[in-house]
Structure 1
């Protein structure tokens, strides 16, 4: 069957169309995305304003039309931290449902982490043993650890690259004082939960998902996306530590000229790099592997697991 996954994230509204069958690998058929950066559009009260809601509903409607054009039988629609944490979330969800007919399933941070972990486990398989997963979104950082498809521990922290950039890095390039304050904040947040994971023992394999990690790996020398999903891509802490001060000295326009960095993500790449560096350092990770699958694939896999057999 042809499924559509509509992901209303903190950075983008992304429709992924796949041909999916129980027991088979989901095959991507079409991708439709629009950058909204909802995490940066919250007003002083933490609400998504009328213009933001109008833009969101129009973008969702465009995605639904694209899904119809591609012959999608069912759309799995969900929202993550930007909508989840908006002060007017209920109102936003009601307006989206009224104007588009779509009822967004708002995932908790724990659900985000667990579904992303499921995708990583299916991608790498059982032979990789105990996985430690890191995922940096626009609004939150997800961390999960485990041996099975259901992680032993999963945590979501409000350390998304878009959220932190909007709240703590107003300058372009950022002021060193702001940069230091953000570094302290990120490390204090992550350090509070490290012990909840380390009590399970060291992981056998560390993996990372999300556009932030993919872009960081790319500027550090990993293969281009055009070389395919099955090319191994890695990111070392040493390489990341060398890039953080370089990114801090650049403007957003200069970062956008780096290989693999999009104009829409360039401004928040530094905050994402600080989160990645802190997580790798505090968890004692010297090197990690980029996983092509993430939350959207986890949602698809979970849906397929619950389809009746033919």
Structure 2
């Protein structure tokens, strides 16, 4: 069954069209656009006109692609930016009028569970059998942390802790000052201290990271000239590599970052804040490496849609 899922993130919009099965799918078409929908949201509380228009144009282009593949159903999910913006309803209405797409705004817990669904089904069963996972998704507006035990979800939490949010709130200089970075780190620690799930994995727990910050760090570590999902998915990203990249980013201007192999244009200003989040989580966790998953929320949206179409149930 051909289905489509769209993830409307604070920084990036992602579309996936695939021939879908109970536990997997065959990708037909995948595309992402950095539109920075949540630009200025933390300061103003609203989606800016410019950010809305960028995102509307991207969604219109997505819709044209969908008409080519004619999926049986499309699921469109909004995340942190649409949860928090006071004018989100107006944007959602405009999207429906201009593209015909209906957006469902996920709660933080729903976002975490769908991300876990996508990630868990992407990790080989011989790795997860009898083990547990600590899954981390660092987005533009929020961070989700999920834990499983022997394939069963134990906890899922969402935090108002994203790469765009931290960058806009604390970083004013290029490159950032030591004081600005100290405030970013302090904010990260204060928010993670509230985690009910705990951010420290047990000895038998596999740490898996997903979403743009972590996949970008994996691409930078490998110095990829062009993003290659096959080289990202399953990559063992070492904390020593993250520490090295953080040091390099700390002293680099935005112009210098744009020249870094693997660093996608549009992420150069927010990648450092995102890297500091995963760096702190790994330090608390006491882990020296993590497995990177190219699957995440977008894939979870698609697999959940399949479950609804076939069984009438849902994973969230």
- Regarding TM over 0.5, the answer is yes
In structure 2, the CA distance between the partners of 1:30 and 1:85, relative to structure 1 (3 Å rule), is same
Following the alignment from structure 1 to structure 2, what is the Cα–Cα distance between the partners of residues 119 and 3? Answer: 15
Following the alignment from structure 2 to structure 1, what is the Cα–Cα distance between the partners of residues 4 and 289? Answer: 34
- Kindly indicate whether the alpha-carbon contact (under 8 Å) linking 1:13 and 1:34 is maintained by their aligned counterparts in 2: yes
Partner of 2:279: 277
Q: C-alpha displacement at 1:230, in angstroms?
A: 8.3
Alignment partner of 2:28: what SS? strand
Partner of 1:73: 72
In structure 2, the CA distance between the partners of 1:203 and 1:11, relative to structure 1 (3 Å rule), is farther
In structure 2, the CA distance between the partners of 1:272 and 1:76, relative to structure 1 (3 Å rule), is same
Alignment of 1:16-35 (within 5 A): 16-23=16-23, 25-35=24-34
Q: C-alpha displacement at 1:198, in angstroms?
A: 6.5
In structure 2, the CA distance between the partners of 1:102 and 1:230, relative to structure 1 (3 Å rule), is closer
In structure 2, the CA distance between the partners of 1:43 and 1:177, relative to structure 1 (3 Å rule), is closer
In structure 2, the CA distance between the partners of 1:272 and 1:242, relative to structure 1 (3 Å rule), is same
Q: Which residues of structure 2 form unaligned runs of 5+?
A: 312-316
Following the alignment from structure 2 to structure 1, what is the Cα–Cα distance between the partners of residues 33 and 207? Answer: 30
- Kindly indicate whether the alpha-carbon contact (under 8 Å) linking 1:118 and 1:150 is maintained by their aligned counterparts in 2: no
Q: C-alpha displacement at 1:132, in angstroms?
A: 0.3
Q: TM-score of the superposition, structure 2-length normalised?
A: 0.88
Following the alignment from structure 1 to structure 2, what is the Cα–Cα distance between the partners of residues 256 and 128? Answer: 42
Alignment partner of 1:308: what SS? helix
Q: Deviations over 1:100-156 (max 9, x none)?
A: 322201111111111111222212224261100011111111100012555211111
Following the alignment from structure 1 to structure 2, what is the Cα–Cα distance between the partners of residues 231 and 81? Answer: 25
Partner of 2:173: 171
Out of 239-248 and 45-54, give the one that drifted further: 45-54
Alignment partner of 1:307: what SS? helix
Structure 1 residue ranges (4+ consecutive) displaced by more than 4 angstroms after TM superposition: 198-203, 222-225
Q: C-alpha displacement at 1:61, in angstroms?
A: 1.8
Following the alignment from structure 1 to structure 2, what is the Cα–Cα distance between the partners of residues 121 and 212? Answer: 19
In structure 2, the CA distance between the partners of 1:167 and 1:154, relative to structure 1 (3 Å rule), is same
Q: How many aligned positions are there?
A: 307
Alignment of 1:1-310 (within 5 A): 1-23=1-23, 25-42=24-41, 44-124=43-123, 125=125, 126-127=128-129, 129-147=131-149, 149-193=151-195, 196-197=197-198, 201-221=202-222, 225-226=227-228, 228=230, 232-308=234-310
Following the alignment from structure 1 to structure 2, what is the Cα–Cα distance between the partners of residues 14 and 185? Answer: 28
Alignment partner of 1:173: what SS? coil
- RMSD of aligned C-alpha atoms? 2.4
Q: TM-score of the superposition, structure 1-length normalised?
A: 0.90
Q: Deviations over 1:75-101 (max 9, x none)?
A: 111111111111222222222223332
In structure 2, the CA distance between the partners of 1:219 and 1:3, relative to structure 1 (3 Å rule), is same
Alignment partner of 2:197: what SS? helix
Out of 195-204 and 231-240, give the one that drifted further: 195-204
In structure 2, the CA distance between the partners of 1:17 and 1:216, relative to structure 1 (3 Å rule), is same
